[in-house]
C-alpha cells in the first residue's frame, strides 16, 4: 500500500530535536557560569549538572540516530540547489557527530582530571582514562574547541532554517514543528 511521502518529521523525531535544543542551551549556560567560579559547592554542583546534561544529550543522540535510520526525514524542497543539499547533508552529519563527540570529550577530560561522571549522582559511568593532569588539560582544550564548533554549526543550522522559512518561504522549518490540526 503506497503512502504519500512524509512532509513532516515524526513526533518522536521532533521531540528528540527540541529536547536536545533545550539541553544544549542549558549545558552552555551552565558551562559559561561554572568555569569562572572559584571552587565552591555551587561550582561542584554546576559541574555535575553539566555532566549529567551531557550524558543525556549523548543518550538522546543515540536514540535519535536509531530512530532516524528507521524513519527517514521528509525530502528537502525541490527548489534547492545541489550545493545547498550537499551543505545541508554535511552540516547535519556534523551536528550528529558533535552530539556524540562533545559529551564524549567531556567525559574523557573528566576521567583524566580524576572526576568520574556519576549520572544523576547515582549511576557511575566507568572512566576510560586514568588520572593524568597533562592529558586532562589537552582534553579540556579539545572539549572547548568542539563546543565552539558545535555552536557555530548550530548557528548555521538555525540561520538556514530561518532563511528557508522567511526568504525561500518553504516548509523546511515547519517540518520540525508540530502540526496543530485545524478544526474548521
Partner 1 sequence: MSLHVRTAVAAGLLAVCGLALATPRPLVAAKSRIDFSVKEMGVTVSGQFRKFEATIDLDPARPEASKAEVIVDIASLTTGDADTDAIAVDKPWLDKLGFPKATFRSTAVKSPAPNRYEVSGVLTIRGKARPIVVPLTTAAQADGGLLATGGFSVRRSDFGIGGGEWNEGDLVADDVPVTFSLTLGPAAR
Nearer to partner 1, 7 or 116 (CB): 116
26 contacts 42 by C-beta, under 8 angstroms = no
Answer yes or no whether residue 7 interacts with partner 1 by CB under 8 A: no
Half-sphere CA count of 46, side-chain side, radius 13 A: 18
Among 117, 139, 147, 175, the residue binding partner 1 under the rule CB under 8 A is 117
Among 115, 153, 161, 174, the residue binding partner 1 under the rule CB under 8 A is 115
Binding mask 48-87 for partner 1 (x = CB under 8 A): x---------------------------------------
Pure H helices in the chain:
11-34, 41-70, 82-113, 133-163
Query: 3-state DSSP call for residue 116?
Result: coil
Give the whole-angstrom CA distance, residue 104 versus residue 119.
Answer: 14
Return residues touching partner 1 (CB under 8 A).
39-41, 44-45, 48, 113-118, 121-122, 124, 131-133, 136
Amino acid at each position: 500500500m503506497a503512502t504519500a511521502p512524509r512532509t513532516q518529521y515524526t513526533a518522536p523525531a521532533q521531540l528528540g530535536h527540541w529536547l536536545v535544543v533545550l539541553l544544549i542551551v542549558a549545558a552552555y549556560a551552565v558551562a559559561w557560569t561554572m568555569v569562572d567560579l572559584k571552587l565552591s559547592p555551587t561550582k561542584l554542583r554546576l559541574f555535575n549538572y553539566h555532566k549529567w546534561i551531557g550524558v543525556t544529550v549523548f543518550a538522546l543522540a543515540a536514540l535519535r540516530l536509531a530512530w532516524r535510520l528507521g524513519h527517514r526525514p521528509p525530502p528537502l524542497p525541490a527548489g534547492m540547489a545541489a550545493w545547498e543539499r550537499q551543505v545541508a547533508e554535511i552540516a547535519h552529519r556534523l551536528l550528529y557527530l558533535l552530539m556524540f563527540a562533545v559529551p564524549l570529550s567531556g567525559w574523557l577530560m573528566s576521567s583524566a582530571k580524576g572526576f568520574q561522571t556519576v549520572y544523576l549522582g547515582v549511576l557511575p559511568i566507568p572512566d576510560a582514562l586514568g588520572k593524568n593532569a597533562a592529558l586532562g588539560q589537552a582534553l579540556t582544550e579539545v572539549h572547548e574547541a568542539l563546543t565552539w564548533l558545535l555552536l557555530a554549526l548550530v548557528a548555521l543550522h538555525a540561520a538556514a532554517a530561518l532563511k528557508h522559512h522567511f526568504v525561500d518561504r518553504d516548509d523546511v522549518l515547519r517540518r520540525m514543528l508540530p502540526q496543530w490540526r485545524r478544526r474548521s
